[in-house]
């Protein structure tokens, strides 16, 4: 299961104008709701989960966040992808007392355990290589983000076979 299968062009924001988590979560939730992808509890549960289990990761030169929520809040699986030049503050997964400015955010709207595990494994493979993160941050359109992710997933599958 490739994570690209869950990405919808309407759910990709290049250089989002959002300044904080609340604005970002509202934007993603509003868009997902308009497409019938989530229940009315999604925004509340996403915000609550992030407060208790932060998802920010500080990489060497970039910040990444992987917010998600309970499967019952998702009616049709999706992944929202957002880039931010300035970075959106997220508390770090490893130490909630530390913040990271997330330049790359993947909001996971997944409702099947095997999908979530497969997607998280692919995302970790992507963000572990700075060149992949740089390529995603260099993208200027939703199509470029999707194409870059497609190419990276193909590359990672080739690496696994070695």
pLDDT digits (tens, 9 = 90+) for 33-77: 999 999 999 999 999 999 999 999 999 999 999 999 999 999 999
89/83 Cα distance (integer angstroms): 13
Whole-angstrom distance, CA of residue 136 vs CA of residue 130: 10
Q: How many domains does the chain have?
A: 1
**Angstrom distance (rounded) from CA 102 to CA 62:** 7
- Which residue range forms the structural domain that includes residue 149? 3-161
Q: Is the dihedral of CA 47, 97, 100, 143 positive or negative?
A: negative
CA distance 30 to 47: 14
- pLDDT above 90 as % of the chain: 86
Identify the CATH number of the domain in which residue 27 sits. 3.40.930.10
Q: Is the pLDDT of residue 21 over 90?
A: yes
- Which tens digit of pLDDT belongs to each residue from 115-132? 888 898 899 999 999 999
CA distance 102 to 82: 10
Q: Residue 136: name the closest of 123, 145, 146, 125 by CA.
A: 145
pLDDT of residue 114: 82
The chain-wide mean pLDDT, for the chain, equals 94
């Amino acid at each position: 299961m490739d994570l690209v299968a869950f990405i919808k062009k309407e759910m990709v924001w290049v250089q989002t104008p959002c300044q904080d988590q609340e604005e970002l979560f509202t934007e993603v939730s509003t868009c997902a709701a308009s497409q019938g992808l989530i229940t009315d509890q999604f925004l509340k549960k996403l915000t609550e989960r992030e407060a208790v289990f932060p998802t920010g990761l500080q990489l060497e030169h970039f910040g990444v966040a992987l917010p998600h929520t309970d499967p019952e809040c998702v009616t049709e699986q999706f992944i929202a992808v957002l880039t931010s030049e300035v970075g959106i503050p997220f508390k770090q997964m490893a130490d909630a007392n530390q913040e990271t400015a997330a330049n790359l955010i993947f909001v996971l709207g997944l409702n099947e355990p095997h999908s979530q595990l497969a997607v998280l494994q692919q995302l970790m493979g992507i963000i572990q290589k700075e060149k992949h993160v740089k390529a995603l941050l260099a993208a200027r359109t939703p199509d470029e983000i999707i194409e870059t992710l497609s190419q990276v997933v193909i590359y990672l599958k080739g690496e696994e076979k070695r």
